Chains A and B, each alone.
Chain A
Amino acid sequence: MSFLDSPAILETEGISFSYGKESAFIENLSFTIGQGEFIGLLGANGSGKSTLLKLGSGILKPQSGEIMLWGKPFRSYKDRDRAKLISFLPQALDFSIPFTVRELVGMGIYPYDIPPLIGIDDALDMVGLGHLGDSHISDLSGGERRRAFIAMTLLQGAGLLLLDEPLANLDIKYQIELVRLLRRLRDERNISVVMALHDINVALRFEKVMVIKGGRILGIGSPAAVLTRPVIMEAFDVLVDIKNAGERDAYISFEENY
């Protein structure tokens, strides 16, 4: 898995991880994320998507194996320096205290002592929230909240975005908008994006997908190569039918009672 045409940003080498004392949830897993890659991490509930993203962001630490960030061991980075390189979006944020959008976006500069390269207003404009800076985050729609978070990562300057189910609870239109926004930022700034997904039809629109189940990788590569009938059936435990309506436009229908 190292035939990359771009420099590796994050590499895992045989990492294993378990919650508590039971047998390893993730065992001897190796993969590489290259600069500028746009990866969909696909798997059913409980397949290990979140665990993998948390290992990649350093929230969880592998019991064995090594994670390399820009070619250096993860452990060798201070928390603050790591925060300049990786940004992780949790599945849910807490909004019990009413922060404004501007206050949230401004947190992106916390890892730095110097003023940011781009201002809060620029970042808001880049994600299309220029008019909502003074609104409370709790008053925004789900899609707007995620865009506000993405604006924050622009100030944070992180080259790798790890997003845990950013498309959850969004209508299809907003899902497409958010993916398009992230892809545009990737094109402009050469960042890498990895997002957990569970919608197979959305995964088809990615350049690269990684399918996992039970903490194992079932396949990495282009959707056409990876999202085959047997892989999807194994990953999701359902009977599926893949219909091609053109070169890249496939859609997948599901049947119950596997």
Chain B
Amino acid sequence: MRRHLLQGIIHAPLTEPAPEPDDAVMGELAAALDRAARRRLGRSLSIREVDAGSCNGCELEINALSNAFYDLERFGLRFVASPRHADVLLVTGPLTKNMRVALERTYNAMPDPKFVVALGDCAKNGGMFAGSDACLDGVSKVVPVDLHIPGCPPSPRDILAGLLALLEKIGA
């Protein structure tokens, strides 16, 4: 274990730096998100995620945000275990009928001000599952959606960019 720890100290972090052209976007995002979050919410942004019947593809990419390349928490964004601690409700899936009550209760448990982000094509209007007897075709049927991040699934980079857009919208 010592060897791994030592290498961690010696080697440069994998977390993507700002200067590279592609990474410049990430760097700007980092600065902008941090400033905006502090100005508008006075602290970091806490996110409660709810899977409302997704295929789990969106969850894979949301979880990837925490890996060393994206390192979500450096932006002041973090996932919380309870809706009572959350500013943002991040919802995936077409909203199955079987998840309706759970989503409503999670939303109602959040303190104001609160924002809802619908993540992925399904969350917008049911996506591929639109028209199913078992689905409600979109998160907005039950909770008010502030922002939609498209993709099937959206990449971690898309998700990060979307969260910035939310902050811009809050400030507008």
Bound together: no
Residues of A within 8 A of B (CB): none
